[in-house]
Chain A
Amino acid sequence: GNSVTQMEGPVTLSEEAFLTINCTYTATGYPSLFWYVQYPGEGLQLLLKATKADDKGSNKGFEATYRKETTSFHLEKGSVQVSDSAVYFCALIPGTSGTYKYIFGTGTRLKVLA
């Protein structure tokens, strides 16, 4: 079946530290991969996406590369800010999904300290 596994949180970092949140997936076919962010009290916002192997998604200093050989899509940021504190969800849409339903990971809470 299709599934997404994320590293457990919370992750606590100091401002300007390097961030990695690990994400691996299991999927049939060729899924599209996504990172969503949820700020406190808000909805799910698309952060970045990649639709095929070796694609790199990037937005707001965050990056993730679609690695088919390791079935991974790790999220990275070179220098985090306090405003990046949020919950980050890795997700996929299976390549075989006609309805474009998301499969989400459990989410990783990031806390950045000033």
Chain B
Amino acid sequence: EPEVTQTPSHQVTQMGQEVILRCVPISNHLYFYWYRQILGQKVEFLVSFYNNEISEKSEIFDDQFSVERPDGSNFTLKIRSTKLEDSAMYFCASRRGGVEGYTFGSGTRLTVV
């Protein structure tokens, strides 16, 4: 069964450093998402991406965050200057159209120290 692949599974970074989280969506999918889950809290929508541009972003997704699909297969989330409160599990998701096939990756646990 096709999978959404996220790397790394766990990343530790120093406060103030830039971090890039990587995702490989399912190959024929067209819509891409990032969600995050702070430990013990709900999963929250960050951003959706379609046709090489952001289609919607939440208030969490401020100027410190950016997304990119650099080569037609990877989908990345960059945090420019990490803060302690960015520590969370980050999930990538993709879908082709409609809800069918909306698939999540296993997540990257980001720890900012």
Contact = CB atoms under 8 A, between A and B. Distances in A.
Q: Which label, helix, strand, loop or mixed, suits the secondary structure of the B interface?
A: strand
A45 interface: yes
B13 interface: no
Interface stretch (A18-26, A66-74, A75-83, A94-102): A94-102
A104 B48 CA distance: 16
B105 interface: yes
Contacts of A106: 41-42
Q: Which label, helix, strand, loop or mixed, suits the secondary structure of the A interface?
A: loop
Contacts of B43: 44, 89, 91, 102, 104, 107
Interface of A: 32, 36, 41-46, 49, 51, 89, 91, 93, 98-107
27 contacts: A41-B106, A42-B106, A43-B4, A43-B6, A43-B104, A43-B107, A44-B91, A44-B93, A44-B104, A49-B99, A89-B42, A91-B43, A93-B99, A98-B56, A99-B31, A99-B50, A99-B55, A100-B102, A101-B33, A101-B56, A102-B35, A102-B43, A103-B45, A104-B35, A104-B42, A104-B44, A106-B42
